[in-house]
């Protein structure tokens, strides 16, 4: 089997590449310019030399057509596009174009080539918006509250339309928050972990956070890429919510991280109103029972385990 991973340099792309290599796949990853990209996450996982890398501009149909025609993959995983909710408020146009153009160009190429390529699209639990303390499932309406969520919702409906109108094997994984040491520090979970570790080692820095009352469903990223692969092994394409089913406040995440070192997070943290988002989701939680029933996937690691593993990895990086 041969898989093309668009967005292989990111957290999910790197973990997915490792998983597919372990399953005996030939793995090809794309980047806008593979000659200058560092692919640091692939290096960190020790798989950089096991992956073939291609330059491909996902917003350019001809570029996508040339690469996919030459590679002839059995599966395509679309994990590319601007991935930060916070940044999307500052870059709404780039966020929309990077997510939407990539999705439609990849599916148009599959349709044009008329080959049985299975297509996975990375969705987001952000699409549901505020569910009023209810866990979101596949039938929960979308009420996106950020430019990022709007773009992901539009891409979701594109995938559904191509599946129904053109018969493509196409599906979207509606993934809730999933973290790992491969997250950059602009993501709040890694920001908290990195700050806690540095402060425990003597740093006098202050951790600046926005709204710590928000609640999120946090899982472990290496487990979530297994769900992506399982979706493409079914007889037909279908959409699935992927989540732990448990939600915790951001304050709880910070409290656990600092408590690991015997510290009180509030003694080292400032709440910065400038970090608050223009619109935010008070509560996010996913109901992944359909994924368990139809693919056998279930999250094994909840928030406490995520915090512990991220701390261990952060401390190892200091060595």
299 lies in a domain? Answer: no
What number is the average pLDDT over the span 47-53? Answer: 96
Confidence of residue 235 (pLDDT cuts 50, 70, 90): very high
298 lies in a domain? Answer: no
- pLDDT tens-digit profile of 71-94? 999 999 999 988 888 888 999 999
Residues 173 and 123 in one domain: yes
Of residues 277 and 248, more confidently modeled: 248
Residues 195 and 308 in one domain: yes
Per-residue confidence (pLDDT) for residue 319, from 0 to 100: 78
Of residues 244 and 31, more confidently modeled: 244
73 lies in a domain? Answer: yes
Percent of the chain whose pLDDT exceeds 70: 100
Confidence of residue 296 (pLDDT cuts 50, 70, 90): very high
Confidence of residue 37 (pLDDT cuts 50, 70, 90): confident
- We report the CATH number of the domain holding residue 81 as 3.40.50.720
228 lies in a domain? Answer: yes
Residues 157 and 252 in one domain: no
Q: CA 108, 15, 23 angle in degrees (round to 5)?
A: 85
Residues 31 and 121 in one domain: yes
43 lies in a domain? Answer: yes
Residues 106 and 68 in one domain: yes
Confidence of residue 194 (pLDDT cuts 50, 70, 90): very high
- pLDDT tens-digit profile of 164-186? 999 999 999 999 999 999 999 99
What number is the average pLDDT over the span 187-207? Answer: 97
- pLDDT tens-digit profile of 122-161? 999 999 999 989 999 999 999 999 999 999 999 999 999 9
What's the total number of domains in the chain? 2
Per-residue confidence (pLDDT) for residue 174, from 0 to 100: 98
Residues 149 and 22 in one domain: yes
Q: Is the pLDDT of residue 35 over 80?
A: no
Total-model pTM: 0.95
Which residues span the domain enclosing 170? 2-179+221-245+286-293
Q: Give the integer Cα–Cα distance in Å for 145 and 252.
A: 23
Residues 139 and 267 in one domain: no
Residues 133 and 277 in one domain: no
Residues 208 and 147 in one domain: no
Residues 80 and 130 in one domain: yes
- We report the CATH number of the domain holding residue 268 as 3.90.25.10
Give Cα separations from 199 to 67, 94, 106, 203, 206 (angstroms): 46, 35, 45, 4, 8
Q: What is 225-275 written as a DSSP string?
A: HHHHHHHTTSSS---EEE--S--EEHHHHHHHHHHTTT--GGGGEEE-GGG
Per-residue confidence (pLDDT) for residue 38, from 0 to 100: 82
What number is the average pLDDT over the span 190-214? Answer: 97
89 lies in a domain? Answer: yes
Residues 225 and 308 in one domain: no
Confidence of residue 216 (pLDDT cuts 50, 70, 90): very high
Residues 111 and 34 in one domain: yes
Per-residue confidence (pLDDT) for residue 288, from 0 to 100: 98
Give Cα separations from 65 to 28, 61, 72, 111, 232 (angstroms): 15, 6, 10, 11, 21
- pLDDT tens-digit profile of 90-111? 999 999 999 999 999 999 999 9
Catalogue the active-site residues.
124, 126, 148
What number is the average pLDDT over the span 230-238? Answer: 97
Q: Is the pLDDT of residue 210 over 80?
A: yes
């Amino acid at each position: 089997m041969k898989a093309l991973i668009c967005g292989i340099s990111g957290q999910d792309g790197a973990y997915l590449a490792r998983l597919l290599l372990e399953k005996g796949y030939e793995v090809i990853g794309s980047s806008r310019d593979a000659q200058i990209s560092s692919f640091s996450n692939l290096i960190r996982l020790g798989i950089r030399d096991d992956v073939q890398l291609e330059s491909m501009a996902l917003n350019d149909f001809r570029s996508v057509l040339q690469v996919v025609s030459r590679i002839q993959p059995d599966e395509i995983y679309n994990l590319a596009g601007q991935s930060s909710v916070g940044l999307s408020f500052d870059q709404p146009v780039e966020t929309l174009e990077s997510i939407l153009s990539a999705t439609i160009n990849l599916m148009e190429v599959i349709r044009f080539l008329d080959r049985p390529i299975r297509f996975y699209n990375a969705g987001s639990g952000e699409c549901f918006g505020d569910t009023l303390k209810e866990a979101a499932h596949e039938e929960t309406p979308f009420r996106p509250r950020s430019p990022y969520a709007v773009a992901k919702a539009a891409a979701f409906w594109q995938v559904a339309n191509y599946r129904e109108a053109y018969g493509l094997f196409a599906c979207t994984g509606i993934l809730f928050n999933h973290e790992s040491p491969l997250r950059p520090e602009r993501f709040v979970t890694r920001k908290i972990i990195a700050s806690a570790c540095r402060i425990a080692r003597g740093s006098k820095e202050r951790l600046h956070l926005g709204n710590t009352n928000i609640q999120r469903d946090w899982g472990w990223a290496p487990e979530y890429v297994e769900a992506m692969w399982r979706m493409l092994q079914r007889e037909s394409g279908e959409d699935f919510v992927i989540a732990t089913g448990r939600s915790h406040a951001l304050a709880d995440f910070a409290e656990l991280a600092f408590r690991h070192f015997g510290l009180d997070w509030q003694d080292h943290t400032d709440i910065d109103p400038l970090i608050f988002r223009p619109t935010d989701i008070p509560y996010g939680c996913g109901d992944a029972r359909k994924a368990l029933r139809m693919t056998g996937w279930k999250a094994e690691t909840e928030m406490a385990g995520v915090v512990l593993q991220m701390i261990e990895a952060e401390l190892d990086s200091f060595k």
